Amino acid sequence: MRIIPITLPTPFYIGPVNVYLIAEDPITLIDTGPKTKEAAAALREGLRHAGFLTADIRRIVLTHAHEDHCGLAKSLRDEAKNAEVMVHDWETGHRVGRLEHEEHRKLLARAGVSDDEIEGMRRVYEGVRLYGDSFAEHEYSALEDNAELEFETGVLRVVHTPGHTPGSCSFVREADRTVIAGDCVLKRITPNPVLSPDPIDPAKRFHSLAEYLVSLARLRTFAPTLVHGGHGDSIHDYEELFNRYVRAIQQRQGQVISLLPLISKAGATAWDVSRALFPDTDDVHRFLAVSEAVAHLDLAHAEGKIEMELSGAAEVYRKPDGS
Ligand SMILES: [Zn+2]
Ligand SMILES: [Zn+2]
């Protein structure tokens, strides 16, 4: 199975994004890049270099519905007439919903984010949304966990790896233990568990970090020898990366817990923690920063390491006395 990485520019802070061409029937593109002229041109060039045209693509598979990964999906589908688009069901609500629906606002209010600040975040994401088209429900087919995507010479197994987003999926070629992991696994940075409503019950928060740890462990069971991530270089030593991630998550949790009494004896919201952790963040990073704080507080609370109390609409976390 020929897996050909194509790297595309993005207008985002994260930098270029990797998409993957599976160069055998049915010709499949995993992720598409953002909806920009530059990414579209670079993709066309990458395909041409591999000996293909956009029109040859039969299947567009999305690791998740962030604009840097899915933005060009609709226009590619239209150009490659009747190419099938596949994405996990849990991704589509997330995509349509980000910061526009009431449940997102409620989650942010619970995290202690002020109305003004929420409005600012919403405006930033309005801009981000311009880099992708949304899909109606009948325009894609759902990726199912454990399903096999068939190719001429083998299969890619769909592995649902929630965490970064609820519907994030990875694709595993068990024959040579190669994984295409989207933003679940990145070489240089620990992916951000983005604040999302629970896809089953949107009034609840998705337990992104707990889910993420399970996803990392699940990928480990495939003993990957090569992991292609959504950004940056591929990973040859998954075991090293797994241990590094787990350590980084534990360290950040320790840091978050010890910040709580320093911010205030009475406790702190996720927003307070995010401002203490990342005081200089701006734009989209304010949302990502509060996402990170929520994810760590949520997990620490679930593990019984900190206490939580509602103060109005907001959750206030406290380090227990004497701990
Ligand atoms: Zn992403
Ligand atoms: Zn990404």
What is the CATH classification number for the domain harbouring 238?
A: 3.60.15.10
What would the pLDDT profile of 134-166 be if each residue is shown by its tens digit?
777 788 899 999 999 999 999 999 999 999 999
Ligand 1 mean position to 147 CA, how many Å? 22
Question: Tokens 């679930």 sit at which residue?
Answer: 302
In a domain, 278, yes or no: no
Ligand 2 mean position to 41 CA, how many Å? 19
Q: Give the domain extent around 91.
A: 3-108+126-242
Q: How many domains does the chain have?
A: 1
Strands 84-87 and 59-61: parallel
Ligand 1 mean position to 235 CA, how many Å? 18
Q: Is the pLDDT of residue 323 over 70?
A: no
Residues with C-beta atoms within 5 A of ion ligand 1: 66, 183
Ligand 2 mean position to 79 CA, how many Å? 24
- Comparing CA positions, the residue from 323, 319, 322 lying closest to residue 306 is 319
In a domain, 265, yes or no: no
In a domain, 194, yes or no: yes
In a domain, 320, yes or no: no
The closest ligand to the CA of 17 turns out to be 2
Q: Would you state the pLDDT for residue 93?
A: 60
**Omega cis (within 30) before 26:** yes
- Comparing CA positions, the residue from 51, 49, 43 lying closest to residue 79 is 43
- Average pLDDT over every residue of 163-181: 96
Q: Would you state the pLDDT for residue 99?
A: 56
Ligand 2 mean position to 269 CA, how many Å? 27
In a domain, 289, yes or no: no
Ligand 2 mean position to 260 CA, how many Å? 30
Q: Is the pLDDT of residue 97 over 50?
A: no
DSSP 235: B
- Give 242's pLDDT tier (boundaries 50, 70, 90): very high
In a domain, 27, yes or no: yes
In a domain, 254, yes or no: no
Q: Would you state the pLDDT for residue 96?
A: 47
Ligand 2 mean position to 291 CA, how many Å? 15
Q: In percent, how much of the chain has pLDDT > 70? A: 97
The closest ligand to the CA of 65 turns out to be 1
In a domain, 322, yes or no: no
Q: Is the pLDDT of residue 185 over 60?
A: yes
The closest ligand to the CA of 10 turns out to be 2
Ligand 1 mean position to 285 CA, how many Å? 13
172-175 own/partner pairs: CB under 8 Å, 24+ apart: 172/219, 172/222, 172/224, 173/1, 173/3, 174/222, 175/1
Ligand 1 mean position to 105 CA, how many Å? 20
Region of poorest pLDDT, from 29-38, 154-163, 187-196: 187-196
